[in-house]
A and B are shown apart, each in its own frame.
Chain A
Amino acid sequence: MSTTTLPTERAAEPARRRPRIAERLLMSEYLVLALTVLYVLILWPIVPSIATRATMLDVLAAMMPLLVVAIGQTFVLIVAGIDLSAPSILATASVVGASMMTDDGGFALASGIPILAGIVAFVAVGLLIGLFNGLCTTRLGMPAFIVTLTTMMFFSGFALFYTAALTDDGSSFGDLPASFVAIGQGTVAGVPYSLGVAAVVMGVAHLVLSRTVFGRWLYAIGRNPRAAAISGVPVRRAVTWAFVISGLCAAIASVLYTGRLETGTPVLGQRILLDIVGSAVIGGVSLFGGTGKVTQTLYGVLFLSVVDKGLQLLGLDLASVFAIKGLVILLAAVLDALRRRLILRA
């Protein structure tokens, strides 16, 4: 390698080193996609069912809610923040929304439009918690980590309390209207509705991040908040919006999950925090802020969901699945650090 770099070092221009193949692969956006394919190929001989149409559709349907939350998380990660409260938003929105429209005495049954009222409740919960996170972070200057950690604890507890207080068995809101359940379970020509919802969210998020003034502002804030502020970027407002969007996405995901499970439950999303942040980072959204695309998050979610499915098909118990997923996310974080080092060196 050193011999090939010698001639360029003599050049007057800053030396442009041709990156090694390993480096190019590491820097590639499609690295995770390649890894996903590789993973499937490796598992194929052992569990042939991994490559069937049924399994693929199953994985797709299962990953849509996660994709929607992770897209929201991407907005926050881009401004170098983090939103740990997403799982608690899922849970709170789920129980509050379900309590509106459950046939078993829902609050909004009398209104005649219980499903609409329920969905408004989902969205309102997401927006409000997101707004609270955003305002605490930007107006009080608190670290996003602490703000969202505490909102997560509070609202996880709140969801449990709310359910215990309002239901007979104290564990969940059942008897949801059939047309609501269809949002999570229904299909059109074999394609799940949830896929359509997620696709719309993805499309809008992609447009916002890559093509709008607001999107460019978010990247600028993640790269250098001081330079952004001096250049007239409304840093605090934009960061607040990032948290609100994250809350909104969590609420939409909650609708999909709740419909899929047919119940509003306070333990919804209890274990997916690591999946949310992890899949974004695996996809290449940097925890240091300033970089990341919606497509990268998609690849990350796909990878994690495929890994998950593969481990299930292998018949591993839950504990092993967790341990292995943890390792995978750790590896992704290591890759992120390596990538950053390469960028700094380049």
Chain B
Amino acid sequence: MNDTEAQPAFFAAEGLCKSFFGVQVLHDMTFSLHPGQVLGLVGENGSGKSTTMNIMGGVLPMDAGRMTLDGADYRPRGPRDAESRGIAFIHQELNLFRNLTVAENLFIAGFPKLARGLPFIDRAKVRVRTQELLSSVDLDVAPNTPVSRLSQGERQLVEIAKALGSNARIIIFDEPTTSLTTREIERLFDIIGRLRRQGIAIIYISHILGDVLRLCDDIVVLRDGHRVGRAPRAEMTVERMISLMVGRTIDQIYPPRDPPMSPGAPVLEVRGLSQRGIVKNIGFDLRAGEVLGLSGLMGAGRSELARILFGMDPHETGQVRVGSTAMTTLSPANCMAHGMAFLTEDRRAEGLMMEASIADNVALASLPQFGRTWMRLIDRTRLGDEVARVSASVQIKAPDLQRTLVKNLSGGNQQKAVIGKWLLHKPSVFILDEPTRGIDVGAKYEVYKIVNRLAAEGAGVLFISSEIEELTGMCDRILVMAHGEIRAEFARAAFDREAILRAAMWHGIKEVA
């Protein structure tokens, strides 16, 4: 198995660095690949795996560092350039045209022509070549099958065939098994084994640590943009990977929080909430004055749960009580009428009207409260005063609330505008989905203070975050979701980042056991 180590590395990355908006997300990333090697890449969400791969695949430029391919400088100008140099990237969300056939997808970048310079496609050649490529990944479908008729696993094989068709020498897999059946996973692993024997190097990114351990020759662990460990498989265990991923980071600063002396009355009660394929049998209570964290990996069903609770997505079974009311129908308007508020994870698409003023945005959810009885004419003086009061209380920094457009604000101030919109509505249950994503440290601190103040005033806060550290810093209690279910619950006294991560990765660990 280790005969490949004798071969020299043909790809190397040294000291890769990358910053977004002044925040460094990747520090001195270094690794190398030799033909036939399978390199595993693991780390929490936001640890820098995707950034590294995006740099390699030409999606992002690097700020500093150097990559070499066959000893020469490698600096891809874009994904197409990376592909032409033999580096293929198979994304988690597959990039196939579902309305086209398998053959068309394989050759979309350049069809063989009947003759040079003529626009006519050599159909016979396309068919033969497609069959060759498909047989190399054991996919037994006709070249003219529409991709829409294939299963997820089959589509992935088409992606691999496409990579082979472009003579890829390095294939990057990003979470390839998330939507595959057990049998499809087995087939994928067989093919990865075959690819490596052909001398193709593989980079395998996954949260399923058991798979990584089984498949990879070497494993690199990332945390907060740093490479914190690299070891051959023989020296790695799932336990070690987890403790490396969690590590001990310099504690971020959180505003002091006085947890409620005695728990308040429940403001949100959820029982047996299920929606097939999304969430399963969710039950929990959120109490007045409590900040309840919701942890889990991407795709664990956290945001989906929040959307169901706020009536944006349907559910099949389950009961939800808000305050003293058993909710018969969940819809945003109905949930709001009972005091719920929801800050979505995508503030641009769902939180804000980017081309409207701060005042218009802050007012949006509370307009009916400012309508006079006749024609619902808006009491503009009172609305203006209230908008100004709320905007000041969340410290939106802008020259003019009425004139400044939200799109001209920084991410932090935009987020405060969304929070202000909900505070004006005076929520008793506030669901925050990734409230500090993409905002700077100072603004984060201010958001934390607002959350604490809300809780102190008696609201219940459901705090969803991918950063375990943030949850342990902010919450009274943390629920951990995996595969649509609540897998564990931790009280503040028992917060343990490693245990939380272990619960979130429950599926991956189960595979090894």
Contacts and interface: CB of A to CB of B under 8 A. Distances in A.
Interface of A: 14, 207-208, 211-214, 216-217, 219-220, 223-224, 226-234, 290, 343, 346
B191 interface: no
| Interface residue tally on B, bucketed by range | 20 to 34
A14 B350 contact: no
How would you classify the secondary structure of chain A's contact residues: helix, strand, loop or mixed?
Answer: helix
Interface stretch (B199-207, B351-359, B486-494): B351-359
B453 interface: no
Interface stretch (B142-150, B162-170, B367-375): B367-375
Q: A208, A220, A232, A234: which has the most chain B beta carbons within 10 Å?
A: A232
B311 to A, nearest CB: 10
Given A213-B371, A232-B336, A234-B333, A223 B365 contact: no
Interface of B: 310, 312, 332-333, 336-337, 342, 344, 349-356, 360, 363-365, 367-368, 370-371, 375-378, 380, 405, 408, 421
B364 A228 contact: yes
A78 to B, nearest CB: 13
A232 B332 contact: yes
Contact of A232 (B333, B351, B377): B333
Closest 9 A/B residue pairs (Cβ): A223-B353, A231-B365, A232-B336, A213-B371, A213-B376, A232-B333, A231-B364, A213-B367, A224-B353
A226 B355 CA distance: 14
A216 B332 contact: no
Contacts of A207: 375, 377
Contacts of B380: 211
A208 B375 CA distance: 8
Contact of A233 (B350, B352, B356, B364): B364
Contacts of A234: 333
A14 B408 contact: yes
B356 A223 contact: yes
B378 A216 contact: yes
Contacts of B351: 227, 230
B376 A212 contact: yes
A213 B332 contact: no
Contact of B364 (A14, A211, A220, A346): A220
Most buried by B among A211, A220, A226, A227: A227
A203 B354 CA distance: 29
Contacts of A231: 332, 336, 364-365, 421
Contacts of B405: 346
Contact of A216 (B336, B349, B363): B363
B353 A227 contact: yes
B387 to A, nearest CB: 12
A220 B353 contact: yes
B63 to A, nearest CB: 21
A212 B373 CA distance: 11
A208 B368 CA distance: 14
Nearest to B371: A213
Given A220-B364, A231-B364, A232-B332, A212 B378 contact: yes
A290 B344 CA distance: 22
Contacts of B371: 212-213
Given A226-B349, A228-B364, A211 B378 contact: yes
A220 B421 CA distance: 13
A217 B353 CA distance: 12
Contact of B350 (A208, A213, A216, A226): A226
Nearest to B383: A216
A216 B365 CA distance: 11
